[in-house]
Amino acid sequence: MDTERRAFLDDLLSQSTPSGFETAGQRRWLEYVEAHADETHVDAYGNAVAVSAGDDDAPSIAVAGHGDEIGLMIRDVTDDGFLKLTRIGGSDRTVTRGQHVTVHTDEGPVDGVIGQVAIHLRDSAADEYDEIAEQHVDIGAEDGEAAEKRVDVGDPITLRTRVSELAGDRVAARGMDNRVGVWTAAETFRRAVEADPEATVYAVSTVQEEVGFKGAQMVGFDLDPDAVVAVDVTHATDGPESPGDKGSDVDLGGGPVVARGSVNHPALVEAVRSVGEDTGTDLQLAAAGSRTGTDADAFYTSAGGIPSLNLGIPNRYMHTPVEVVDLQDLEAAAELLSAFAARLEEFAPFGVDL
C-alpha cells in the first residue's frame, strides 16, 4: 500500500466513531473522496455519498462500508464520581476491564480507565466476566458533582489504542471493523473514476451499522442503484482458537471473501467471481445461508430489492481492541471492485432467470 493510501487508513483509524457519533470519521472520508467526485452529499443522519456520474442509460453501482464502530456510553454518574456504562453495539465485556478509555464530551475528550479489582483482592477461583452494565469508568473525580462538571449522561466512550505494525503487511488496531470497509469503498471509487467507466459509481460510508444497519436502510432507499457491494470485515478463522464449526475457512491474507447465499444475489456473485478470475485476484468464499450480518442485509430489501453482495475483508479478533488485518486483502478488494465497476455494463442488469 502506497504512502498516501496508508496515511488515509491511519487517519480513519485515528478517529473515534461509535454508532450515532460518526461525524469526525465521516468528515475525513469525505475529504478523501471529494477530490475524485462529481458531487458529494450527506443526509440528515450523516450517511456520506460520493458520486461519479456515468452515461444516462448506463447502470449504476454503489460500493459501501460502514463508518461507525462499537463503543460504550455513560448511562449514569454515581455519587462517588464513577461512570456506569451501557453498550453501543456489540461491545465485548471480556476485553473492557483494565483498559484506558476516552470519554467524548461536548467540551472535548476526557481520559479515564475501566476499573478492575486487583487480583490480590478478589477470589480468582470464582472469576467471571462482568456485564458491561456492571463495569465502571474512573476519571479520577472526587465525587459525583465533580464528575458531572466534566461529563454528561449519554457521552460516548471508546477504548484508547494505537495502530501496531505486525509482520509483513499485517496491522492491528481498534476499529478495523469497519475502517477497512470505508477505506475500500473510497479507494474503489478513486480507481474506478480513473478508469472512466460508463457506469455511475457511488461510494458510500454509512452510519449506525453496528446497531442494526440503520444507515444502509436510509441510503439504499435514496440511491436505488442497480447493484450494491457492502464491504465489511469477516472472521478470519486461521487463528489457534477459532472454532471450526462457526464459519467458513477464511485465511488472513488469502484475499477478499465473497459471501454466497440468501442476501447475496447469485448473478452478482457470479459476475464478481468472473472479474476476480480475469484480474488474477485470489478470492475466498463464505457461506451465508440466512444473513450476512452486514449492511448488505439492509440494502437488498431496499427500494423493492437491490441486487446486493457482501464482500469480506478477513479480520482476526473482531470486536476487540486488537483487530488484525492484512493490507494486501484491502488492496485486492479495491482492485477487484474497481475493475468490476469499469465492466458493469457487461453484467447488468442483475436478475434471476425463471
- Residue 141's pLDDT is 98
Share of the chain above pLDDT 90, in %: 91
Question: Is it the case that residue 120 has pLDDT exceeding 90?
Answer: no
10 Å CB burial of residue 170 (0-12, 13-18, 19+) is middle
Strand partners, 136: 84
| DSSP state at residue 304 | G
Residue 33, H or E segment? helix 23-34
- Residue 249's pLDDT is 93
Segment 160-182 shows an average pLDDT of 97
Q: How far is 60 from 201, CA to CA, in rounded Å?
A: 6
Confidence of residue 305 (pLDDT cuts 50, 70, 90): very high
Residue pointed to by grid coordinates 434471476: 352
Contact 237, 247 (CB under 8 A): yes
Confidence of residue 122 (pLDDT cuts 50, 70, 90): confident
Segment 65-90 shows an average pLDDT of 98
Question: Is it the case that residue 159 has pLDDT exceeding 90?
Answer: yes
Q: What DSSP line would sit under 87-145, residue for residue? A: EESS--TTS-TT-EEEEEETTEEEEEEE----GGGS-GGG--PPPGGG-EEE---SSHH
Residue pointed to by grid coordinates 465533580: 146
Q: How far is 29 from 47, CA to CA, in rounded Å?
A: 11
- Residue 123's pLDDT is 78
Residue 66 is labelled as binding a ligand = yes
Residue 2 is labelled as binding a ligand = no
Residue 177 is labelled as binding a ligand = yes
Give SS3 for 243.
Answer: coil
Phi-psi map region of 255: left, alpha, beta (phi>0 left; psi -120 to 50 alpha): left
Which of the residues are catalytic?
209
Question: Is it the case that residue 52 has pLDDT exceeding 90?
Answer: yes
pTM for the model stands at: 0.96
Q: Note the Cα 111 to chain centre separation in Å.
A: 25
Q: What is the mean pLDDT of the chain?
A: 96
Residue 198 is labelled as binding a ligand = no
- Residue 121's pLDDT is 83
Share of the chain above pLDDT 70, in %: 99
Domains in the chain (CATH in brackets) are: 3-69+174-347 (3.40.630.10), 71-157 (2.40.30.40)
| DSSP state at residue 82 | P
Residue 232 is labelled as binding a ligand = yes
Confidence of residue 248 (pLDDT cuts 50, 70, 90): confident
Q: Is the dihedral of CA 262, 275, 66, 94 positive or negative?
A: positive
Alpha carbon separation from 9 to 102, 186, 286 (Å, rounded): 21, 10, 26
